[in-house]
Amino acid sequence: MNAAQRQIHFVASLKTKVGVGLILCLFLNFIIIVLEPFGTDQFEADYRLLLLFGFGVVMFGAYIIHSSIENIWYFRKGKVWLVSYEIISTILFLLFSGTMLYLYNTVIVNQLACTLETYRRYLLVTVLSMAPVFVPTMLYLRQKFGERIVPLPKNSYLLTGENKNEILRLEKDDLLFIKAVENYVEICFVDKSNKVISKTFRQTLSNVAQQLPFLEKCHRSYLVNISNIVSISGNSQSATISFVVGEKEIPLSKTYYKHLKNSVP
């Protein structure tokens, strides 16, 4: 696999973003106030420390805004974050944060007018000079505190209930049907030993249908996996569905009879 296509961690939660942002804020302030690069030691002004500390605050705000926008990208990619995405995102962050820091440095700290030439020089000199020190720290924190969600195989699904720890991983071909029972659902599937078993989760049939979109409704209280139907018995007034394994049968209502009848091989 190309290294750029390797999946890596991503900081998705706002709480973690804030934590990483605060560490980066303090790190940048340490560099500016203690190490005093770019002639900072010659800077004299009222509230000097407060103005210098403002660089870290501006960078913190830029990081929170940028990383929050990143989430849109992350979720559109199915919670998969690649090395190539991280590279592009880092470049965009340097441009965005560099722009915010330039405005703060020029307008607030030095009280000068902004020009295209000073903006270009700030990005090429100040931002690029700081990048080899700042970027590795940022990337390390993102990988340290981020999450890495391994995508499920193509025909695998996670079914979750409303109660804690109600999580079931299912292969599409193993699921037979799901039955609604008041505020619960009964999940009927085949295990590795080809034995038909069932589990009960606190969940609604409509939410199950969203999580498992391949299921078809065959009755107001049932969802069925048509790939595991072996036969449909009876007529539209009184029909039942039988499966390729087990002896269980479920009802097929008149509303869905024609559609299911035509869908089953």
Q: How would residue 262 be classed by pLDDT, with cut points 50, 70 and 90?
A: confident
Residue 81 covered by a domain: yes
Under 8 Å between Cβ of 134 and 27: yes
pLDDT at 152: 63
pLDDT at 205: 94
Q: Are residues 27 and 102 located together in one domain of the fold?
A: yes
pLDDT at 86: 96
Residue 132 pLDDT greater than 80, yes or no: yes
Q: Are residues 11 and 128 located together in one domain of the fold?
A: yes
Q: Are residues 70 and 177 located together in one domain of the fold?
A: no
- State how beta strands 196-202 and 175-181 pair: unpaired
The Cα–Cα gap between 135 and 142 comes to 11
Q: Are residues 223 and 256 located together in one domain of the fold?
A: yes
Q: For 147-161, what is each residue's pLDDT tens digit?
A: 887 766 778 888 999
Query: Helices (H), strands (E): how many in the chain?
Result: 7, 12
**Residue 132, helix vs strand vs coil:** helix
The better pLDDT of the pair 32, 165 is held by 32
Looking at residue 84, its amino acid is S
Residue 139 covered by a domain: yes
Total number of domains constituting the chain:
2
Looking at residue 58, its amino acid is V
Residue 172 covered by a domain: yes
What average pLDDT does the structure give for the chain? Answer: 92
Residue 226 covered by a domain: yes
Q: For 109-124, what is each residue's pLDDT tens digit?
A: 999 999 999 999 999 9
Q: Are residues 92 and 191 located together in one domain of the fold?
A: no
pLDDT at 224: 96
Assign residue 42 a region (left: φ > 0; alpha: ψ between -120 and 50; beta: otherwise).
alpha
Q: Are residues 68 and 181 located together in one domain of the fold?
A: no
Q: Are residues 138 and 8 located together in one domain of the fold?
A: yes
Q: For 26-46, what is each residue's pLDDT tens digit?
A: 999 999 999 988 888 888 888
Average pLDDT over residues 211-215: 91
Residue 1 pLDDT greater than 70, yes or no: no
For 31, 101, 138, 260, the CA distances from 58, given in Å and listed in that order, are 15, 7, 16, 60
**Residue 246, helix vs strand vs coil:** coil
Average pLDDT over residues 85-114: 96
Domain with 68, as residue range(s), is: 3-145
The Cα–Cα gap between 177 and 187 comes to 6
Query: Tokens 């020029």 identify what position?
Result: 106
Q: Are residues 166 and 241 located together in one domain of the fold?
A: yes
Q: Are residues 141 and 23 located together in one domain of the fold?
A: yes
Half-sphere exposure of 128 (CA within 13 A, CB side): 7
Residue 150 covered by a domain: no
Q: Are residues 233 and 257 located together in one domain of the fold?
A: yes
Q: What CATH number does the domain containing 259 carry? A: 2.40.50.1020
Please report, to the nearest 10 degrees, the dihedral formed by the alpha carbons of residues 147, 134, 129, 97 taken in order.
70
Q: Are residues 137 and 220 located together in one domain of the fold?
A: no
Residue 51 pLDDT greater than 60, yes or no: yes
The Cα–Cα gap between 167 and 199 comes to 10
- ∠ CA 108-113-117, nearest 5°, is 115
Residue 194 covered by a domain: yes
Under 8 Å between Cβ of 219 and 253: yes
Q: Which of 145, 180, 197 corresponds to the end of one domain? A: 145
Tell which residue, 58, 73, 62, has the closest CA to residue 12: 73
**Residue 193, helix vs strand vs coil:** coil
Average pLDDT over residues 236-248: 89
Q: Which of 123, 145, 167 corresponds to the end of one domain? A: 145
Residue 259 pLDDT greater than 80, yes or no: yes
Q: How would residue 140 be classed by pLDDT, with cut points 50, 70 and 90?
A: very high
Q: Which of 120, 145, 170 corresponds to the end of one domain? A: 145
Q: Are residues 80 and 200 located together in one domain of the fold?
A: no
Residue 151 covered by a domain: no
Residue 60 pLDDT greater than 70, yes or no: yes
pLDDT above 90 coverage of the chain, percent: 71
Residue 89 covered by a domain: yes
